[in-house]
Amino acid sequence: MIALQGMEGDRLSIKQDERVREITIPHDAKIFEALRRMDSANRKLLILERNGKFFSLLSIGDIQRAIIRNVSLDTPVYRIVRQNIRIAHPTDSFEKIREMMLEHRTEFLPVINNGDVVNVYFWEDVFGKLQAKIKGEMDIPVVIMAGGKGTRLKPITNVIPKPLIPIGEKTILEMIIDRFHKYGVKDFYISLNYKSEMIKYYLGNLNLNDINIHYLEEQAPLGTAGSLSLLREKVEGRCFVTNCDILVNEDYKEVLDYHIESKSLLTIVGVIKTETIPYGLIESDENGRVIWINEKPTRSYVFNSGMYVIEKRALEFIPENRYLNMTDLVTALISAGEKVSYFPVSENSWIDIGEWDKYLRTLENYELVKRFFENW
């Protein structure tokens, strides 16, 4: 158990000690183990220790950069941490610590003395419910694909369209708009087909202040990418594209910066999923001779979240008024030799309500969903 001092000199409560244990892992833990810990603790930063001493800090950004470099998720985390990390010292005043956390949007800041973690300042303790400011704003339009029938959510979508399905006090469409608006986004293009008048009526009665809503009207269903052909004369450069049944808790500015730096024509926001197979897997040679048994192996893969950053030139690959799914567009770009990249996010950073069981699970965890958007 780590000995800690409270912010006012008192010993931290057991609950606070538990929070510290939740965010502390060995320096030689595997990347996939760190991802799981981040998901279970609902954090994007972890403390690494070695032989009971402070070793370093590991952020979700460290993991994302490693995955982009095709580093195996079985790699020990000490191999991917940055050299420059932010920590505090016992001599630092509370005001200095507060300023550091506010400037860098730090979830928590450990106080280190002779290799020991003697205190941990958590954002919620220092700032209460104050939301961290975003690191940078974006001057980029967002396209929300909202034309589908929501077949997997029937019978509710027989009455209301999927974009207007409520999560707590807001519809998912509003939550998507709110999230991007925090980054300074003002222009939204909404692709419509099924129950389009209902969506327009609902948005028309909201107080959207400085938000500009534009509609892309599909005369017939055009798939998850076909309606983007209607954008050609409307946007000047790149844009975000998102499905209307997903939420992603990520720094969108970092996604955009990565897209620009990678010089990609299209970037997919990919969700990292790891799972442990609860059996021993048998591997054999061509003669059926067993050569190895891998006991309860962990497998990892990345799947499409339903969010993208797309350059305007990619729109040239989309035929006008023809049904086209995003997978078809990606395939066409790759076949043409164009660069398609992905930006990885953790599984707990992604919410999908496109099916009944997923929607009901989201409602059951509504308080978690609220924190999902309030904190970061």
d(CA 373, CA 376): 6
Average pLDDT over residues 67-71: 87
| Each residue's pLDDT tens digit, 148-182 | 777 777 777 778 888 888 887 888 999 999 999 99
pLDDT at residue number 41: 85
Please state the domain extents for the chain.
Answer: 14-127, 142-375
Three-state secondary-structure class, residue 39: helix
Confidence of residue 263 (pLDDT cuts 50, 70, 90): very high
**Looking only at Cα atoms, what is the longest distance across the chain?**
70
142-375: CATH architecture: Alpha-Beta Complex (3.90)
CATH topology identical between 14-127 and 142-375: no
The pTM score is: 0.80
Three-state secondary-structure class, residue 278: coil
Three-state secondary-structure class, residue 275: strand
The 10 Å Cβ neighbour count of residue 225 is 25
| Each residue's pLDDT tens digit, 108-156 | 999 999 888 989 999 888 888 777 667 778 999 999 998 777 777 777 7
User: What CATH number should be reported for the domain whose range is 14-127?
Assistant: 3.10.580.10
Confidence of residue 366 (pLDDT cuts 50, 70, 90): low
Tell me which DSSP letter residue 141 carries. -
Q: And the tokens for 165? A: 């399905």
Confidence of residue 80 (pLDDT cuts 50, 70, 90): very high
Confidence of residue 354 (pLDDT cuts 50, 70, 90): low
Smallest CA-to-CA distance from 348 within 108, 39, 85, 22 is with: 39
* Statement: residue 240 has pLDDT above 90: yes
* Statement: residue 312 has pLDDT above 50: yes
Q: And the tokens for 80? A: 């991917």
